Each structure stands twice: as C-alpha cells, then as structure tokens.
Amino acid sequence: MAATLSPADDSPSPTSIRKVLLLVSKRADKIAGPLRAVGVESEVIIAGKWKIVPKVLAREDAIRAAGVDLIISDCCGTHASMAMMLRGLLGVPAVFRMRGNMWSEYEDRRSDRDGLLKRKFVDALVLYTNHNLPQMDAIMPVARHMADAVRAELPGLSTPVLPIPISVTTFPQAPEDRDAPRARWSPDGRRIVASMTNFRYWQKAAPMLDAAPALEEVLRDHGLVWAIAGRGAFAERFFEELAKRCSPDLWVRAGFVSDPWSLLYAASAFLHISEMDGMPNVVIEAQACGCPVIANDYPAMAELIRHGETGLLVRDLTEAAGQLDRLLSDASLHERMAAEGLRYVREQHTDEAVGWMLLQALGEVKERFDRRG
C-alpha cells in the first residue's frame, strides 16, 4: 500500500494541484471525494462509453475556462481518448485511474461469448486499451497486483504506474441494535452470512458455487442463512446452479441492495469468494461495518486482509466452511477481527488518507509533465 502523506500544517494542498477534470463513467465520488478531503476541487463530466464524447464537446468552453491542473479518466477506451485530446488542448497531464483489470474482464467476455465476430470485437478492445494506456502521463491502479498486471500486459512501458487504494466515502452510523436489520433478509431470525457480487462477470460469481457444498453443514449447524446480493446477466444461471449444490432453505437471493450498509451491519460474517477483483469495495465496506471477512487468497483480497488479524483468507475454497465455523465458534476471535478490520480501514481507506496519497502522486506527475515542457 502506498505511504500516506500528511499535511505539515492546515494548508489545503502541498502540491500545485488545485483543480482536476474528471472524465468518469460512474462513481465520481471515488475520486472526487478523497481529493475534496485534501482541498482539491473537481470538475466532473460523467457519462458511459461513447456518450462521453458529446458531453465533452458541449462543454469545451467551460472546460477551457475551468483552469484545471490535471485530467483524470477512469476508463481506458473513449474516456482515455478524450482525456488525451484535452491534454493537448489544455497543456496539462492526463492520468488513468484504473478501477479493475481490463484484460481479465476482456478474457471473461471472450470466454462467454460465441461467434467469431464477437471474439474479434473483444480483440479490438484489447488493442484499443493497449494503444491508449502508454500515452497517459501516469496509470494509477487501485491495487498493487493490478500494477503488476499492467507491466505484464505492456512490457517496456515507460509510463509511471502508481498504485493508490480506494476509499470508503461514508461511515454510516451503526444501528444500536445490530439484530434489527436482520429481519429484512432473515424473517425467521437466523443469523446472516452475507455476500455481494457483480453478476455481470461469471468469474466473480462462479467460485462461490465451488465453496457452496462445504458451507451447507456449517450454515445448518450454526443456524445461519446465506444472503447473496447483486445483479447482472449471470444471476439466473448462478442461483439455478446454487440450488443444486446447497439446500435452498439455507440461502436467500437478496437482489440489488441500494444500501449495502444495512446488510453488512445485519451480517455476522461476510464471505467474499471471487477470481476477478481489482480492489473490491464491498470487502472494505464490510470491514468498515465491523463485519469480519472470509475471502479466498486472491491478490486483491490479500492486499486488504492480513490473515488471522483483519480477516481470514482461504487457499482451498472448501476451507471457507471451516473458517466460517471457526469464526462463529470463537466470540473473542470474531470481536478481535471486527475491531482490527475497522481500525485498518480507518487508517488506510478514509477519504482523507487516500486523498493525501492521490495528491502526492498527482503532484509528482504534474511536476514531471511541467519539466518536460
């Protein structure tokens, strides 16, 4: 994890960065929030895919007048292309904020799409990405393992790759009675083990199926219900398969949960089993709710969890059941991991902590850009 830069005094910014332009597809708060916390203003243009083009063109005069010091894009396609166009127009550096491993996502799309034309389209996306990224002034992945992926996919890359984590933008107040929200997903009062995933990607969901048969006995013995939240194209396929591997009376399909905090505060543990993650927001959010996390020992999770301290990691997916049994059978272990997970998030993943990391890195990028003239 990058070291946290702390301000020497109450001045808003120790660098020349005062205002940035964000070209984002969604969740501008994940960049704007940390920067705001350290005194940096954001001009935001938010749109999906090709829709970013007319939005930028319509605001050209306002963009010129905004006086931004740097441009940040969170998509490697059209958004990155527009960022590079504005880089030349405004004479300021452009940075790519990498939220996930695009190459893994492309592979996931390729493996689940039939037809030569669709596979060729995915191949074109790879070429487009590999063309755009080396032109940026810096690439800022949200995790160290993603920085390694960039260097592996783009050998000989001279663009700086600077991993900076993500933040939890809000820490909602914990309910006085943590059992109260439980009835929403467990009307019969059973304790909850929660999972949340993006069913748009099979690699995010499928590993839970491999863990499910071993979980059945633990769920039943501890009087638990497994509440699985999320939506996406693979949801139907996932739950149909889950019903074959784990008794339907032991799990509930929670659907899309607009307020994830309510489920996380209701849960006794959070189970995250995935083979495609950059830095999963939901793991950090679970820790922020004092909900102990059990996850597979995948690079993304290993950066967030110190095994036996801030959570539990499993190498073999069948181990998840044993670790869940261990966690729920030992009250002191459960309490300690809940506290340590929350402490870790408050140290490393608040807006202010991530904001100072971003500000230091962006300041260095701008200084390098200005020296080159």
* DSSP string for 314-333: ESSTTHHHHHHHHHHH-HHH
pLDDT > 70: what percent of the chain? 93
In CATH terms, the superfamily for domain 180-348 is: Glycogen Phosphorylase B; (3.40.50.2000)
> Quick one: DSSP state of residue 272?
E
- pLDDT in the model for residue 171: 67
For residue 43, the surrounding DSSP H or E stretch is strand 41-46
Residue range(s) occupied by CATH 3.40.50.2000 in the chain: 19-167+350-372, 180-348
Other Cβ atoms within 10 Å of 159 Cβ, number:
16
- pLDDT in the model for residue 371: 92
pLDDT over 90 at 110, yes or no: no
pLDDT over 60 at 343, yes or no: yes
Tens digit of pLDDT for each residue in 221-278? Answer: 999 999 999 999 999 999 999 999 999 999 999 999 988 888 999 999 999 999 888 8
Dihedral sign for Cα 7, 353, 46, 81, please.
Answer: positive
pLDDT over 60 at 7, yes or no: no
Q: Cα dist. 369→5, 6, 117 in Å?
A: 21, 24, 40
Q: How confident is the model at residue 21 (pLDDT cuts 50, 70, 90)?
A: very high
Tens digit of pLDDT for each residue in 192-222? Answer: 999 999 998 888 999 999 999 999 999 999 9
CB-based contact 45:52 (threshold 8 Å): yes
- pLDDT in the model for residue 2: 40
Report residue 333 CA to chain centroid gap. 27
Fold exhibited by the domain 19-167+350-372: Rossmann fold (3.40.50)
